[in-house]
Amino acid sequence: MPDDSFLHTLAARNPVQGAMQHSAGRRRFLQAMAAGGAAATLPLELLAQPSRPLSLLTWDAYADSRLHRLWKEQGGGDIRYEIHISDPTSVNRLRAGETSIWDFINVNNPWARNELWPAGLIRSLPRDRFEPLYSQMADKFQMPYKWAMSEDGEDLLGIVQRYETFDFVVNSDVISPQLAKDEGWDLFNNPDFARRYGILAYEDWNVMDICMGAGIHPFKVKTEAEVAKFAETCRRWIDNAAFITTDFVQLNLALMNREIDLYFTGGTYTTAAARLEGIAELHAITPNHGPADGKGGINWIEINSAVANPNPHDRALDFLEFITTPDAAEIIARGNGNLQPVSQMAQPELMRRFSRDELAAIQWDEFDERIGNAVEFDVVPDYDRLYDIYSAAMRARG
């Protein structure tokens, strides 16, 4: 087993992928501005070198220098980027006038359809050019795919790429993965595991998880009885946690050292890099059942869109097509040193590029099962009220 310093060399970026309502002052990630290059072979002739860099407001995989270098090598020009603080914060930035700054935005599935498009903040994509790209994706994304379309079904809003589930993690040497899938969130309700689990303090995801553990659909409006059940479960789960941290490396170490047996929130995002180094006892779990339309997990999906910049970059649409090409999609799947599935892995050409060890690291043999047992990520109604309960419980713990 490697020493503690090993895991601390692994990337510890925030996978959320999430609806962090009002979160700008709560959880901070890395922000970066950079100039670089990048591109993959496009099935079209590139235009003259643009006069300004293509500007990305994005999650970390699209900030990978290899992607930018590929784009530039293919004649795509320079790129500047900033990594999100959160989806809703970035939506609000565009609302405040930053459409004139950005050309590309990468957000989780509900935000494009429910917020960006109705507010006129993203561009409609030419369907004849971009719809065929969906035929290269996993079956769940075949057109018309809800989250990629406007509510009236007329406009295509973006391109789907990274997606996964994000639920909890167990030490498989202590808790059988099959038992964990069958028991689901009730493992955290079991008094035998009091002080034997940790919490990765990604607060928006914690709120959703606690809803699941309380037997409540996270994405439906709550009754007063459900809010009361959430409050009781929330206080108990927080009080009974062995420790709470924003660092998933610390939680992985605690699992390895048998200080805890499981933690939430977690998934292959938090375990893949360590599993690739042989720490196979870290096992991401999506429950077989739960209160979300019978499903126990949550499936996040990223949508890549062209910002409605009043001075549109002449390569913005080219870049959206470029990221779906095999070379670019491969980089994004491995973005910034972390493995995550992409929709284009449905294509044999791309799948052949991932080694057996890499696929084992992301538990690929269980991937379809995880997705099938997960409800698609959405905005949480009553989030502010639930968050206030959650934050009060965290303060009370001290």
What residues make up the domain containing 287?
165-297+378-397
- The answer to whether 245 and 200 have CB atoms below 8 angstroms apart is yes
Q: Are 385 and 364 members of one domain?
A: no
Amino acid at 78: D
Residue showing tokens 């072979």:
41
- CA–CA separation, 45 and 128 (whole Å): 17
Rg of the chain in Å (alpha carbons):
21
pTM equals: 0.86
Beta carbons of 39 and 328 less than 8 angstroms apart = yes
Q: What is the CATH number of the domain that holds 159?
A: 3.40.190.10
Question: How far apart (Å, rounded) are the C-alpha atoms in residues 360 and 157?
Answer: 33
108 and 241 in a single domain? The answer is no
Q: Is 355 left (phi over 0), alpha (psi -120 to 50) or beta?
A: beta
Query: Do 225 and 150 belong to one domain?
Result: no
Residue 307 near residue 102, CB atoms below 8 Å? yes
- The Cα 269–Cα 362 span in angstroms is 8
- Regarding whether 274 and 312 lie in a shared domain, the answer is no
Q: How far is CA 312 from CA 54, 76, 306, in A?
A: 10, 15, 9
280 shares its domain with 306 = no
One domain, residues 154 and 45 = yes
Q: How many CA atoms lie within 13 A of 217 on its CB side?
A: 13
HSE-CB of 119 using CA atoms within 13 angstroms:
15
Q: According to the model, what pLDDT value does residue 85 have?
A: 78
Q: Is residue 171 located within the same domain as residue 286?
A: yes
Q: Amino acid identity of 79?
A: I
The verdict on 230 and 101 lying in the same domain is: no
Number of structural domains (the chain) is: 2
Q: Is there a cis peptide before residue 271, judged by omega within 30 degrees of 0?
A: no
For residue 336 the two structure tokens come to 């910034």
Beta-carbon-side half-sphere exposure of residue 167 (alpha carbons within 13 Å): 31
**Same-domain check for residues 91 and 226:** no
Point out the residues of the chain with pLDDT beneath 70: 1-50
Question: Is 98 found in the same domain as 201?
Answer: no
Element (H, E) at 321: helix 316-322
In the numeric block, which tokens belong to residue 398? 């001290």
Residue 337: what pLDDT?
83
Rounded to an integer, what distance in angstroms lies between the CA atom of residue 210 and that of residue 216? Answer: 8
Domain check: are 137 and 227 in the same one?
no
What is the maximum alpha-carbon separation in the chain?
Answer: 65
Residues 6+ apart with CB under 8 A from 331: 64, 66, 67, 70
- Shared domain check, 175 and 107: no
124 sits in which H/E element:
none
Q: Which of 120, 191, 176 is nearest to 150 (CA)?
A: 120
Q: Which residues contact residue 210 at a Cβ distance below 8 angstroms, ignoring those fewer than 6 apart? A: 230, 233, 234, 237, 386, 390
Residue 319 CA from chain centroid, whole number: 21
Give residue 369's Cα distance to chain centre.
18
